[in-house]
Amino acid sequence: MDQVIEWLTGYDEKRLKELIDEKVTFETFFQNASLNPNAHLITGVICGYRVEEIENPLTQQVRYLDKLVDELAKGRKMEKILRVA
């Protein structure tokens, strides 16, 4: 899970723990993240919405994370989850 979050946001384990301890909002969490340049490759449906069609940037970023966690939970290979060519 940490690897997936780090890939998407750029936050390492130490920084992620700090953010959790600070109880930052999703808005702050994603506002300060260095979103992976390949995040746009995350596509598909999560919670009934097509991730690539979500117009609100914050909502889309949260759904990106949802989608990655969902793929991880379903046992998808890490190379596929992290959109490695």
Residue type, 85: A
| Per-residue confidence (pLDDT) for residue 84, from 0 to 100 | 78
Overall average pLDDT of the 10-33 stretch:
97
Whole-prediction pTM value?
Answer: 0.90
Overall average pLDDT of the 5-27 stretch:
97
Overall average pLDDT of the 12-20 stretch:
96
Q: What is the band of 10 on the pLDDT scale with cuts at 50, 70, 90? A: very high
Q: Which fold has domain 2-81?
A: Helicase, Ruva Protein; domain 3 (1.10.8)
| Per-residue confidence (pLDDT) for residue 85, from 0 to 100 | 61
32-85: pLDDT as tens digits = 999 999 999 999 999 899 999 999 999 999 999 999 999 999 999 999 999 976
Buried/exposed code over 28-56 (b: 16+ C-beta within 10 A; e: otherwise):
ebbeebeebeebeebeeebeeeebeebee
